[in-house]
Amino acid sequence: MARLHHFWNSGNSYKIRLLLSELGRPYDSAALDRANRAQKEAAYLAVNPRGQVPAWEEASGRVLTESAAILSYLAHGTALVPKDPWLQAQMLSWLFYEQQHLCNQGVGMAHYWTFVTGQGETKKAEVEAAREKARTELAYLERHLQGREWFVGDSFTVADVAIYGYTHRAPVAGIALEPYPNVMAWMKRVAARPRHIRFEDKPA
């Protein structure tokens, strides 16, 4: 069976867990101990030499890294990837955007310092800058969602999975969502899907 190498407290990892749940696809969950830097130990570097999660390892031994690529690959051929080339390119556009503006800066970084490392107090300036960036991007998402239910076309796609991963963690990172009602309504739609799992949900 294929295996997902991940951290329970990572948004990038959660995006893959959420998609796998949406697809109803079984997998082996290999959670790494982030506190003890298991991602930098030889056993894991043999899986991903960059020492990062998530990584998707198939029974054949081949490994795919980078959450956006893993999402695209796992959802290939399903209703979560638009068949129309223009809509598919729009979906990819949001996946690239997510990595640059929601994961590596803004809400992703605010989440990292406040929730993952607990450095909210010692890194005050950095955390506030990340929150400000997050608000700029939330305003952008808010405008895009005006009159739309989903990010691309008229159905739930991998773009929604990718953007939801960190965006819904904004309150945990000290960023209020009330000024963004379209974003809040979209999050409710995502969370209401029958196979949705929450960030903190772990398989029984």
Write out the residues near ligand GSH by the rule CB under 6 A: 7, 10, 12, 39, 51-54, 66-67, 99
Which residues make beta-bridge pairs with 64?
Answer: 56
Question: Which of 154, 110, 116 is closest to 128 using CA atoms?
Answer: 110
CB of 189 to ligand GSH, least distance (A): 24
CB of 7 to ligand GSH, least distance (A): 6
CA-to-CA distance for 37 and 126, rounded, in angstroms?
Answer: 23
The residue type at 51: G
Closest CB to ligand GSH among residues 5, 131: 5
CB of 10 to ligand GSH, least distance (A): 4
Closest CB to ligand GSH among residues 7, 180: 7
CB of 71 to ligand GSH, least distance (A): 9
For residue 63, give the 3-state DSSP assignment. strand
Closest CB to ligand GSH among residues 39, 157: 39
Distances, alpha carbon 196 to alpha carbons 10, 127, 128, 189, in Å: 17, 29, 31, 10
DSSP H/E element including 64: strand 63-65
138-151 b/e (C-beta count within 10 Å ≥ 16 → b):
beebbeebeeeeeb
Closest CB to ligand GSH among residues 12, 114: 12
CB of 132 to ligand GSH, least distance (A): 21
Closest CB to ligand GSH among residues 41, 132: 41
